[in-house]
Amino acid sequence: MSSRRSDVLSGLKTAGRAGLSGEVLACELGISRAAIAKHIAALRALGYGITAQAGVGYVLESVPDIPLAEEIAAALRSGFWESLRFVEQTGSTNDDCKELARAGAPQGTAVIAAQQREGRGRLGRSWASPAGGVYLSALLRPTAPLAELAPLSLVISLGVARGLESIGATPRLKWPNDVWLARGKLSGVLLETSAEADRADWVVAGVGINVRRPGDPLSGAAYLDDPREDGGAMPPPGLAVVAAAALDGIAWAYGEFGGGGFGALAAEYEKRSMLPGHDVTVRDLAGNVLADGRAAGIDGTGRLLVEQDGTSVAIAAGDVSLRPTRD
Ligand code: BT5
């Protein structure tokens, strides 16, 4: 959103029900009334409900439930985010963010979409991205050697979980990159990186979060507004609030990781992990079985530990399926 349009919007928000005339707005911002009318039209096109009443002026009646940069910025607490870019619809926010990374955009740039046409998971899997979810990609430029970045997808998923807790959700973590709610997958993380020698030039961390249950929900997926197991339902927060919470959580986790490595976060991860004590099969990304046993936890570098035939196997990357627990 242009900074002038943002100024018009914050003027309307401050005025509230009292409204604000085009004349006063034009005078305050030092632009013409015609320019104000243009910004009002653009805000309406984005979905803002703005009425024009004689003797009152413009009144902001409603804010659209889409993760607009302006609304996210207003809800953010972290100072980490340099630039937020909203797109109504795109192929994949990861692709958009990678383009910005290659063009030299700074760490702390994020692209947020209301919908994706070709949302991606790992290994070319697809990520269902209808309206009603949050799809974002964050540009990071870590300075640690590449070998130390292995736990980064755990770090990001932990950040997302912590962020969602701050708005009242009770998510759990499924190693390596899933955030679950009750019995379904709520969120996933896709990391893409470009490196030279042993340093990353950039990392794009893509996060999809299901918020509103669509008419045709995906099997195995959870949505933030699903009824809880105790029968209640989470009051549906606006999509911008969900996006801001996730971004705040990511900034926190990434900051901790930068300061003390994964060791600084391992206990926080473990606390939310849903795997320990469960029988699991772990496969590599080609589908070969890496371990078949009981998940015990993670080690200080984020590897999953599985007890198998009396020995502990440490796994750095893979996909986990839960099996019914036998005793
Ligand atoms: C992931 O992959 O979980 C990473 C998802 C990352 C999506 C974000 S959205 C913003 C950014 N832009 C992108 O294009 N991608 C990122 P993986 O662990 O491979 O899981 C993919 C699997 O999750 C699929 O094969 C489905 O089984 C399942 N799935 C697909 N869409 C889902 C959804 N909306 N909710 C829950 N599960 C889903």
Q: Mean pLDDT throughout 106-128?
A: 96
Mean per-residue pLDDT, 244-268: 96
**What is the rounded CA–CA span in Å between residue 92 and residue 89?**
9
Please confirm, yes or no, whether 122 is among the known catalytic residues: yes
The model's pLDDT over 5-25, given as tens digits with 9 standing for 90+, comes to 889 999 999 999 999 999 999
Does 190 sit in the ligand 1 pocket, CB within 6 Å? yes
pLDDT of residue 167: 94
Tell whether ligand 1 has an atom less than 6 A from the beta carbon of residue 208: yes
Whether the CB of 121 sits within 6 Å of ligand 1: yes
CA 153–ligand 1 middle distance (angstroms): 13
Q: Whose CA is nearest to atom 11 of ligand 1?
A: 206
* pLDDT score at 323: 82
Residue 302, ligand 1, Cβ within 6 A:
no
Indicate which atom in ligand 1 lies nearest the CA of residue 119. Answer: 14
Decide whether any atom of ligand 1 lies within 6 Å of the 4 Cβ: no
pLDDT of residue 1: 60
Q: Partners of 281 in the beta sheet?
A: 292, 321
Residue type, 177: N
CA–centroid distance, residue 134 to ligand 1 (Å): 12
The one catalytic residue in 33, 44, 102, 323 is 323
CA atoms of 270 and 253, how far apart (whole Å): 14
Q: Which candidate, 137, 127, 226, 215, places its Cα nearest to that of 178? A: 127
What average pLDDT does the segment 242-257 reach? 98
Average pLDDT, stretch 280-295? 94
Tell whether ligand 1 has an atom less than 6 A from the beta carbon of residue 67. no
Nearest atom of ligand 1 to the alpha carbon of 94: 12
Distance 173 CA to ligand 1 centre (A): 15
What distance in Å separates the CA atoms of residue 200 and residue 146, rounded to the nearest whole number?
Answer: 6
The pLDDT score that the predictor gives to residue 286 is 87
> Is the confidence at residue 229, as pLDDT, over 70?
no
Q: Compute, in angstroms, the gap from residue 249 CA to the centroid of ligand 1.
A: 19
Evaluate if residue 326 carries a pLDDT over 60. no
To test the ligand 1 pocket, which listed residue (112, 125, 127) has its Cβ within 8 A of the most ligand atoms? 127
Residue 325 has pLDDT above 70, yes or no: no
- Tell me the CA–centroid distance for residue 132 and ligand 1, in Å: 15
- Residue pointed to by tokens 């496969």: 283
- Compute the average pLDDT of residues 86-101: 97
The mean pLDDT of 38-43, rounded to a whole number, is 95
Percent of the chain with pLDDT over 90: 86
Distance of CA 23 to the CA centre of its chain: 39
Q: Is 187 touching ligand 1 by the criterion CB < 6 Å?
A: no
Could you tell me if 101 and 139 are in contact, meaning their C-beta atoms sit under 8 angstroms apart?
yes
**Confidence band for 232, pLDDT divided at 50, 70 and 90:** low
Give the span between the Cα atoms of 160 and 112, in whole angstroms.
15
Mean model confidence pLDDT for the chain? 93
Nearest to 93 by CA among 119, 69, 73: 119
Hey, what are 52's tokens? 């024009």
Residue 93 CA: which ligand 1 atom is closest?
A: 12
- Kindly state the percentage of the chain with pLDDT values over 70: 96
The verdict on the CB of residue 117 being under 6 Å from ligand 1 is no
pLDDT of residue 309: 92
Among 192, 189, 2, 194, smallest CA distance to 104 is for 194
CA distances from 59 to 1, 17, 107, 278 (A): 20, 6, 37, 55
Residue 231: its pLDDT value, please?
67
Reply yes or no on whether the pLDDT at 324 is more than 80. Answer: no
Residue 253 pLDDT greater than 90, yes or no: yes
pLDDT tens for 190-214 read 999 999 889 999 999 999 999 999 9
Average pLDDT over residues 145-169: 95
- Helix/strand/coil (H, E, C) string of the chain? CCHHHHHHHHHHHHHHHHCECHHHHHHHHCCCHHHHHHHHHHHHHHCCEEEEECCCEEEEEECCCCCCHHHHHHHCCCCCCCEEEEEEEECCHHHHHHHHHHCCCCCCEEEEEEEECCCECHHHCECCCCCCEEEEEEEECCCCEHHHHCCHHHHHHHHHHHHHHCCCCCCEEECCCEEEECCEEEEEEEEEEEEECCEEEEEEEEEEEECCCCCCCCCCECCCCCECCCCCECCCCCHHHHHHHHHHHHHHHHHHHHHHCHHHCHHHHHHHECCCCCEEEEECCCCCEEEEEEEEEECCCCCEEEEECCEEEEECCCEEEEECCCC
At 205 the pLDDT is: 98
Residue nearest to ligand 1 atom 25, measured at CA: 125
**What is the tens place of the pLDDT at every residue in 44-71?**
998 999 999 988 899 999 999 999 998 9
Please tell me the distance from the alpha carbon of residue 228 to that of residue 8, in angstroms, as a whole number.
Answer: 39
The residue-averaged pLDDT of 103-131 equals 96
323 has catalytic annotation: yes
Query: Which pair of tokens denotes residue 107?
Result: 């760490």
Residue 4 confidence (pLDDT):
87
Minimum CA distance residue for ligand 1 atom 37: 221
Catalytic residue status for 17: no
Residue 254: exposed, middle, or buried by beta-carbon count in 10 A (0-12, 13-18, 19+)? buried
